[in-house]
Amino acid sequence: MGIFLIFFTVLSWAENIILKYMLKEKAEGISRGLQRENAGNSDITKLLFDIADFDFALINMRDSIKKMKNLIMKYSGASSCTLMFLDNYGYLWKVGEKTTYPFKLGEGIAGWSAKCQKRVFVNDVSSDKRYKPLYKNRQGAMVSVPVVKNGKTLGIISLTYSKEKLKLYPPNNNVLDIFVKKMRVVLENVFLYYVAENEKNELRARKSISKALEENISLEEKVEIIRKNVVRFTSINDLSIYLEDEKSHEISCLGGAGKKNITPTLDLMNIYFNKKGKKHDFLDLSEKFDFNFITKRGSGYITMYPIFSKSKIMGYILIEEKIKNIDNLSVLEKRFIELASSHLGEYLVRETSSKKIIEEKEKWRTIFHNVDDGIILLSRDKIVIEANLKAREILGSKNTSLIGANFFSLFKIINPEVESPTLTSIKNLDRFKKSDKEELEKKIDKFFSSQKVIRPQEYYIQTKSGKYWIIGRMKTAIQDPNSELFGIIHIKDITKSKEVEQDKNEFMSMVSHELRTPLSAMKGYLSMILNSDYGKLSKKQEKSLKRVEESNERMVVLVEDILDVSRIELGRFNLNKEPINLSNITRAMVRELGAKIQEKNITLKIQNKLVDPCLKKTIKNPEHTCNDLGVYVLADRDRLMQILGNLIDNAIKYSFDGGKIDINIKPDKNFVEILVKDDGVGVRKEDQDKLFRRFSRIHNPLSIQAGGTGLGLYITKKLILAHNGNISVSSKQGKGTTFSVKMPIAKQLPLI
């Protein structure tokens, strides 16, 4: 044992000589007592037994640290002892004490000792100008002993000696070596415990903050829970959380005792972002800036941390602490504050986005349910996914949801021409318009397979709520995240317009019928007067009455056209179809219009054969004959004459004097095509769609001269469609017009 003491004494003496030399410039006031061997309790043997008997328990770390400190003070003679461990971020933390103020490496006596891994002895702290600012109210001596293992600083043993204990200063270096050796194991365990505890606290903080944000409580309550958690896990004096209102841009304190509804006096975005765009995480407001929402001025340090939402500041965390500023906040404490800020920022983003989504959803839902058209979202299986109020009104009722119903189970397509009050049940109408239903189903299937638009088409339907005239169309397809395709059906209710139109047609039919009787009477009397049945007329009287007769004739034609339109619109005209020779009826129509043809000196050909419209003489030249093609169509004779008459008369009206008209008949397998071609004024391309509209007149050089009601081609098209045919037109302005009519051939002719 004596040899052991001599060895350590010599070693300690040499070490103290070297240390004194190295610290001469760095640590003034090192006492000569550094070389003393009899400070404190010098019973090394007893110390070794006490240290060996000491068992450090992490489970009850505070008591273990207290016993360890008492042991160190007993053998070092110090009046107080502080044990510190070094974390991974360069901060020294006191072990077993309530305060969490950390020292950075190089800060203060302990920080400098830990950084240089040297023992520092200070005889009088109050008179040392380097340490006096940090230890304002302290007097006496201090010793800082680094605990180092394998070149790494594990922590610090810090000893203080009051005036009463200065006689025991400085401590025996051999004693300090023994404590350093013991503290290596203790501080390693403390460090592991610290890391585990911090991870546990971080998980607790995350869980607590997340739970608070998920709870069904007010925003103020959520913020207050977060505030209390940050205070608890960082052990700071006070903390307030301010959030900015997006609309008013006022800052309100929702957590803590700060002021409410404050407008910031400085542009915080410019403060937080410098010219390079680098973000300053923590901002010291203690001296640099004057904010009107700081309530406790002069009470310590005030630090601010922003609550970011993407690149926008939505609020602030205001930290008020007596001894902690930005430099003294540890990495772990900053992490807790950043954690609260990021969670709160993400929550505010979600809430803002959710509110906007809800607002947009409500806005579009209001529009969806209040448009005049019915809108139905349909699946590929023809199941209704969603329907607005108008669609419910038509197909069911406003209070009944159509979701999940088969679209075709909600209505039946019926035929307005055959429906009558005598029908006892809607089931009797199943045979009517069946083809329309099947056709619509095929169109919907085609839409889903190729997304081919279903163009607007009129249907007369029977639903639970009544009978409706609708226009249905389908042109939009949407795809959900599961790649399922849906189609949007638009249903336009035209029942009222149909009723108005029917009333109008009824009125037109009645007025036309009432007008026809007096006009016919006028025509008869005019004819008798012009035939001199009531005496001979002077030339002047005859001329005037002929003008009256022409006007009467125009009125009769107009009334007949209006009657025809009314019958067509009301579905009240009947077709007495029979096989008719198309060549013969065409020549007959040409003969009726012969006077007009000759008046304008028009050359007319049928099948490229010249025709004499008046048949005044027999044309023996074969080139000038019109052969009978033997083509028969199944048609109403009078209506077919009307169709041909309107087309040929139209060609005459819009041909120049001396013009040409060609009529060609081209039979095909099922249809025969009738082409009526003139070389007259023609029609502009943009006006061609107007030709078949009611009362539509095309403005050209001959339109005023030709006159007319604008109903001829409209009636012609309706009559052709009634014969299951169709009509088209091609024209070029200044070069003439060609009308093409296709009508079905009478296949039953051989059976007659």
Q: Is the pLDDT of residue 229 over 70?
A: yes
Q: Tell me which of 330-334, 525-529, 723-727 is least confident.
A: 330-334
CB 288 within 8 A of CB 259: no
Across residues 216-235, what is the average pLDDT? 82
What single DSSP character describes residue 441?
H
The predicted-structure confidence for 47-105, as pLDDT tens digits, reads as follows: 887 777 777 777 777 888 888 899 999 888 899 999 999 988 888 888 877 655 677 88
Q: What does the pLDDT read at residue 701?
A: 56
Mean pLDDT, residues 115-140: 73
Judge whether residue 733 has pLDDT over 90: no
Question: In residues, how long is the chain?
Answer: 752
Provide mean pLDDT across the span 546-567. Answer: 74
CA–CA separation, 564 and 557 (whole Å): 10
User: Do the Cβ atoms of 330 and 286 come closer than 8 Å?
Assistant: no
Q: Which two tokens stand for residue 664?
A: 């060609």
pLDDT band, residue 138 (cuts 50/70/90): low
Which residues, in sequence order, are bridge partners of residue 378? Answer: 384, 487
Position 40 scores a pLDDT of 41
Distance, CA of 690 to chain centre? 41
Say yes or no to pLDDT of 154 above 90. yes
The predicted model gives 16-32 an average pLDDT of: 37
Element (H, E) at 429: none
Task: Quote the percentage of the chain above a pLDDT of 70.
Answer: 74
Q: Per-residue confidence at 708, pLDDT binned at 50, 70, 90?
A: low
Stretch among 198-202, 486-490, 603-607 having the lowest mean pLDDT: 198-202
> What is the model's pLDDT at position 288?
56
Q: Is the pLDDT of residue 389 over 80?
A: yes
pLDDT at 696: 67
With a cut of 80, say whether residue 747 has pLDDT above it: no
Cα separation, 71 vs 60, in Å, equals 17
CB contact set of 141 (below 8 Å; sequence gap of 6+): 31, 121, 122, 123, 124, 125, 160, 161, 166, 169, 170
- More confident site: 344 or 629: 344
Report the alpha-carbon distance of residue 468 to residue 446 in Å, rounded: 26
**Residue 276 pLDDT exceeds 60:** no
- Amino acid letter, residue 397: S
Q: Which of 42-46, 214-218, 678-682 shows the lowest per-residue confidence on average (mean pLDDT)?
A: 42-46
Class of domain 574-744: alpha beta
pLDDT band at 18 (very low <50, low <70, confident <90, very high): very low
Q: Which amino acid is at 225?
A: I
Q: How confident is the model over 201-223, as a mean pLDDT?
A: 83
581 touches 626 (CB < 8 A): no
C-alpha–C-alpha distance, residues 170 and 35, integer Å = 8
Mean pLDDT of the 412-433 span: 50
pLDDT above 60 for 223: yes
Fold of 2-200: Beta-Lactamase (3.30.450)
Q: Does residue 69 contact residue 77 with C-beta atoms inside 8 Å?
A: no
CB 486, CB 478: distance < 8 Å? yes
Which residue in this structure is represented by tokens 């007008």?
515
Name the average pLDDT for the chain. 76
What is residue 98's predicted lDDT score, i.e. its pLDDT?
Answer: 65
pLDDT at 211 over 60: yes
Q: Which of 430, 393, 394, 432 is nearest to 415 (CA)?
A: 432
How high is the pLDDT of residue 591? 86
**Superfamily grouping for domain 218-355:** GAF domain (3.30.450.40)
Rounded Cα gap, residues 724 and 741, in angstroms: 11
Q: What is the mean pLDDT of residues 446-473?
A: 83
Residue 623 pLDDT greater than 60, yes or no: no
For the stretch 289-327, pLDDT in tens is: 555 545 554 556 778 788 876 667 778 888 877 767 676
- The amino acid sitting at 723 is H
Q: Of the given ranges (378-382, 512-516, 657-661), which has the lowest mean pLDDT?
A: 512-516
pTM exceeds 0.85: no
Q: Rounded to an integer, what distance in angstroms lies between the CA atom of residue 617 and that of residue 188?
A: 134
DSSP string, 86-155: E-TTSEEEESS-S----EETTSHHHHHHHHHT--EEES-TTT-TTTTTTSTT--SEEEEEEEEETTEEEE
- Tens digits of residue pLDDT in 253-263: 776 655 555 55
**Looking at the predicted structure, is the pLDDT value of residue 356 above 90?**
no
> What is the residue extent of each domain of the chain?
2-200, 218-355, 374-493, 500-568, 574-744
Q: CA separation (Å) from 211 to 21, 204, 233, 235, 349?
A: 59, 10, 16, 21, 17
Identical fold for domains 2-200 and 574-744, yes or no, is: no
Cα–Cα distance for residue pair 401/369, rounded to 1 Å: 13
The pLDDT of residue 119: 92
Rounded Cα distance between 173 and 726, Å, is 119
* Nearest in space to 401 (alpha carbons), one of 383, 412, 388: 388
Check residues 37 and 518 and name the one with the higher pLDDT.
518
Q: What does DSSP say about strands 103-104 and 91-94: parallel, antiparallel, or unpaired? A: antiparallel
User: Which of residues 20 and 562 earns the better pLDDT score?
Assistant: 562
pLDDT of residue 715: 83
CATH 3.30.830.10 fits 374-493, yes or no: no
Bridge pairing between strands 660-667 and 603-606:
parallel
Half-sphere exposure for 421 (CA within 13 Å, toward CB): 0
- Predicted pLDDT at 64: 85
In the block, which residue shows the tokens 């002069």?
A: 298
Residue at token pair 């070693």? 11
Residue 705 — very low, low, confident or very high, per pLDDT cuts 50/70/90?
low
- In this prediction, residue 148 has a pLDDT band, given cuts at 50, 70 and 90, of very high
pLDDT-based confidence at 28, cuts 50/70/90? Answer: very low
Q: What pLDDT is recorded for position 42? A: 47
Report d(CA 460, CA 413) in Å as an integer.
6
CB 442 within 8 A of CB 597: no
Q: How confident is the model at residue 145 (pLDDT cuts 50, 70, 90)?
A: very high
State residue 676's pLDDT score: 93
Highest-pLDDT range among 157-166, 307-316, 325-334: 157-166
